[in-house]
Structure formats: C-alpha cells, structure tokens
Amino acid sequence: MYSELTRLSVRNIRNQSARSWLTAIGVVIGIMAVVALISLGQALEYTVEREFEDLGTETIFITEGEGLQGFFVAGGLDNHDLEVIRNARGVDTAGPGYYGSTTATFQGQNERVPVIGIPTDESQTRFMSSQAMAVDTGRNLRDTDQNNILVGGNLADDYFDSSVSLRSQIRAGGADLRVVGIMEMTGDPEFDNAIVMPIDRARDLFEGGEEVTNYIVAFPQQGLEPRDVADNIEEAMRRDRGQAPGDEDFTVSTSDDLLETFSNVIGSVQAVVIGLASISLLVGGIGIMNTMYMSVTERTQEIGVMKAIGAQKKQIKTIFLLESGLIGLLGGIVGIILGLGISELAIYIINFYVDIEFVSTYSITLITGVLTFSFLIGMLSGYLPARQAAELEPVEALREE
C-alpha cells in the first residue's frame, strides 16, 4: 500500500514541479549552510588533531594564570619554577620559553615582529619540536649565541620589501642581530613572521629580568602518561607555592587538554552558527506548510473522489505527508550537494593561502542524518494540511468548484 501511495505522491510532485522546487528553496538554503559549516568544522578539527599528532602528544605546558594567557603575558614564571618542574616525579626534561613583540628594522624598513626566546640547553630540540619549529636553512642556536637569531620562513621571504637571508643584519631592541638560520614554514603567522633568539637574550630585550619566563614546556619520561606527570607537576608547584587544590595561580595542560579545549570552542561556535542557519529551515518548513495548504484547497474535489471510492482518512493523510516529506527530502539532497561544494571550495581557498593542509572529511552519519532531518522537517510541516485533507467530508468536497 505504501509503495503505491509513494508513487502517487511522487507523481503529484512532478505535476507541480515548479512549485515544488520553489517550496524546497528554504530547505535547500538551510541544509546547505548546516552541511557546509559542519563539514568545515570537521575538517578544521581533523587538521588540528593531525597537527597535534605530528607535534607529539607528550608535551606538557605550564603557564601563569588561567588557561594559555601566560604564553602572551610577560613574567609570572621564573627559573625557580623551572627547577621545581624538572624535579617533579616523571619529568624527563623541561625548557623555558619567552614571547613578546618589538619593532625590527631591515634595510630602512620598520615592521612589528613577534620575538620568541627558546632554551639553548639539552631541552632545545624537544622544545622546538613541541612548537613545530625546525631550521630549514642554516643552523640552530647555540649557548654562545648572543646576537645571532633565527627568522621565520615568511619573515625571510615576504615580510620586508627585501628578502632576508643568512648573515643578514636585523636591528631590534637597540642591537644588530645576525641571521644564522631560517625556519621552515609552519602555517602559524606567530612563528612564520617571528625572530627567534636565545631566551636570555629575549629577556634582556624586554627587560624581563634574568629569570622571568612566559611559559615552560615539560616532557614526561618514556612510558609514563603525560596526564599523570602533569598531575605530579601541579602537585609539586602547589606544594612549593603553599597553595591548596583549586587555588592555583598557574595552569598545567597536556596536548590532549589543549586539543579538547579547542574542540569545545569549535563545537560551541558551530552550534551558534548552525542555530542561526537553522532559521532558514524554519522558513522552509513554513513554505512547505503553505504549499500543502494550497494543494489541499486546489485538490478538494480530487480528495472527495478518492474518499467516495473508498480511500480512508489514513491513506489521504499519508499521501499529503509523503508529498511534504519528499519536498523536504528534495531540498535536503540539493542542500547537501551545494553545502559539500561550498565546503570544498572554502578548503581549496584556505589551502591556497596557508601552509597547513586542510583535508575534507565527510561522515556517513552527517549525510544520512541531514537527509532524515530534511524529510522529517517536510513531514512535520505538512502534518496540519494533511490532517485537514483527511477530515474533509466526501459530499462537501465533491461540491467544491
């Protein structure tokens, strides 16, 4: 029975193809926006997860205050904190980092650039790896370097009017700094446009004091869980500072913590934007309802004939529900195609301008869920018109002109 009713509903939609397409536009726009946003969000989340895996999941970040604000706030931690962290149970090595910005001059041109101070001891290699920093041309920094620096790949190629090369002189902080290495591009402008120098030199540049640091990066001993070692670091720092649990003025985060925070932020932004995009679905649903009411009015005599030859209320209602559901499904199919197309175009543009490769990710759950949702939106929108059609009296319906 349902197959026959479905064929009848499809025929009715085909007979009113122009109206059906116009009705589905609202659903198309809403589904298109939802699919595009979810697809982009999934691509971004997958890309970030992949980058974290490339950097390694064993990194532990210690900053002053809540969250990651210590990365960008001078002071807070010092060499005493570094020693406490290095002596915590399970810590293999730890290194300090310093972040700031200053005006740099190269061949008469002034530009504001980030400045990153890094350790030059045995922790340097793992510290740089945890920040996705690697030297492409030249050499790394040494203990004896004072006015020698590394520069980001973009700063070397495009930041100044003239290209910066090995042995170029850049003036910053009242000193002439010589370039000994050019780093690989990371896709992060904070690193790609940065000057990297020994942390002691960065402290001098910003007059931060001999022991001050913005953040500390620690690494667990082989075989130990980063979260367990992070808990040990937190306990050691609380004990050293005389603080009770919950009263900490510092933050200890693992790579997994940062990834989870990022995913939560992306999820919240997606939820808000998708909620706004869903307004189009509401408009589309109202459009379907309006069209089905018009269809009931125009087909009153047809309904009367079907009832006169024995059609039941349930069958009449099913016909109109299927019609409205199929209109919603039609809008969903077109919306998915357009949404995925927009997502692909956006990812192509992003990959053209940044060095981090975004990868398209489409889940079967998303496709089937959106199709089911669009079909249900159509059926729900057509419920009241379908009930009205089913309640028409045969005699009264046949009298309609």
* Chain segment 170-197, per-residue pLDDT in tens: 998 788 999 999 998 877 778 888 999 9
Residue with the bigger pLDDT between 64 and 398: it is 64
Question: Do 72 and 103 share a domain, yes or no?
Answer: yes
pLDDT given for residue 170 in this prediction: 92
What mean pLDDT comes out for the span 247-264?
80
Q: Tell me whether residue 196 is in a domain.
A: yes
Q: Is residue 212 part of a domain?
A: yes
pLDDT in tens, 331-371: 889 888 998 898 888 888 887 776 667 777 777 888 888 88
Q: Is residue 61 situated within a structural domain?
A: no
Among 214, 248, 282, the domain boundary falls at: 248
Same domain assignment for residues 133 and 18: no
Beta strands in 131-262 (DSSP E): 135-138, 148-151, 169-172, 175-183, 195-198, 215-220, 250-254
Q: Considering all CA atoms of the chain, what is the largest pairwise distance in Å, rounded to the nearest integer?
A: 101
pLDDT band for position 68 (cuts 50, 70, 90): low
* 276 and 353 co-located in one domain: yes
Phi, psi dihedrals of residue 337, rounded to the nearest 5°: -60, -45
Query: Distance (Å, rounded) from C-alpha 172 to C-alpha 104?
Result: 5
Report yes or no on 253 lying in a domain.
no
Domain boundary among 200, 224, 248: 248
- The parent domain of residue 305 ranges over 2-52+260-399
Residues 158, 101 within the same domain? yes
Q: Flag whether pLDDT at 204 surpasses 80.
A: yes
Query: What pLDDT shows up at residue 237?
Result: 92
* Distance of alpha carbon 196 from alpha carbon 141, whole angstroms: 9
In this structure, are 82 and 191 located in the same domain? yes
Joined tokens for residue 316:
């009449």
Q: Please report whether residue 58 resides in a domain.
A: no
Overall number of domains in the chain = 2
Which residues are within 8 A (CB) of 54 and not within 5 positions of it... i.e. 6 or more apart?
A: 132
Query: Taking phi first (over 0 means left), then psi (-120 to 50 degrees means alpha), and beta for anything else, what does residue 192 get?
Result: alpha
Do 48 and 85 lie in one domain? The reply is: no
Same domain, 200 and 294: no
Residue 400 has pLDDT above 60, yes or no: no
pLDDT for 146 beyond 80: yes
Report the pLDDT averaged over residues 300-304: 66
Q: Are residues 110 and 190 located together in one domain of the fold?
A: yes
CA–CA gap between residue 153 and residue 114 (Å, rounded): 13
* Listed residues 191, 225, 248: the one ending a domain: 248
Same domain, yes or no: 180 and 273? no
Q: 19-39: per-residue pLDDT in tens?
A: 667 777 778 888 888 888 888
Give the chain's mean pLDDT. Answer: 80
Asked if 125 and 160 sit in the same domain, the reply is: yes
Residue 124: pLDDT over 80: yes
